[in-house]
Amino acid sequence: MGSYITRRLLLIIPTLLGILTINFFVIQAAPGGPVEQMIHQLEEGGTSLTSRISGVGSSEVRAATGSHESRYRGGQGLDSDLVERIEAMYGFDQPLHVRYVRMLKDYLLFDFGESFFRSTPVLKLIGEKLPVSISLGLWSTLIIYFVSIPLGVVKALRHGSRFDIWTSSLIVLGNAVPVFLFAVLLVVLFAGGAWLQIFPLRGLTSPHFSDLSFWGKVVDYFWHLALPVTSLVIGGFATLTLLTKNAFLDEIHKQYVVTARAKGLCERRVLVGHVFRNAMLIVIAGFPAAFVSMFFTGSLLVEVIFSLDGLGLLGFEATMGRDYPVMFGTLYIFTLLGLLLGLISDITYSLVDPRIDFESREV
Q: Identify the residue with better confidence: 338 or 102.
A: 102
The confidence score (pLDDT) of residue 209 equals 85
Q: Band the pLDDT of 353: cuts 50, 70, 90.
A: low
pLDDT, tens digit (0-9, with 9 covering 90-100), for 259-275:
877 777 777 777 777 77
The CATH homologous superfamily to which domain 123-352 belongs is: MetI-like (1.10.3720.10)
Where does CATH 1.10.3720.10 sit in the chain?
123-352
The confidence score (pLDDT) of residue 68 equals 43
Q: How far is CA 189 from the centre of its chain?
A: 28
Burial call 71-108: b when 16+ CB within 10 Å, e when fewer? ebeebbebbeebbebbbebbbbeeeeeebbeebeeebe
pLDDT, tens digit (0-9, with 9 covering 90-100), for 135-194:
888 888 888 888 888 898 889 888 889 998 999 888 888 888 888 888 888 888 887 766
Q: Is the pTM of this model over 0.85?
A: no
Percent of the chain at pLDDT > 70 equals: 75
The confidence score (pLDDT) of residue 267 equals 73
CA atoms within 13 Å, Cβ hemisphere of 168: 17
Q: Identify the residue with better confidence: 14 or 5.
A: 14
Does residue 65 register a pLDDT over 50? no
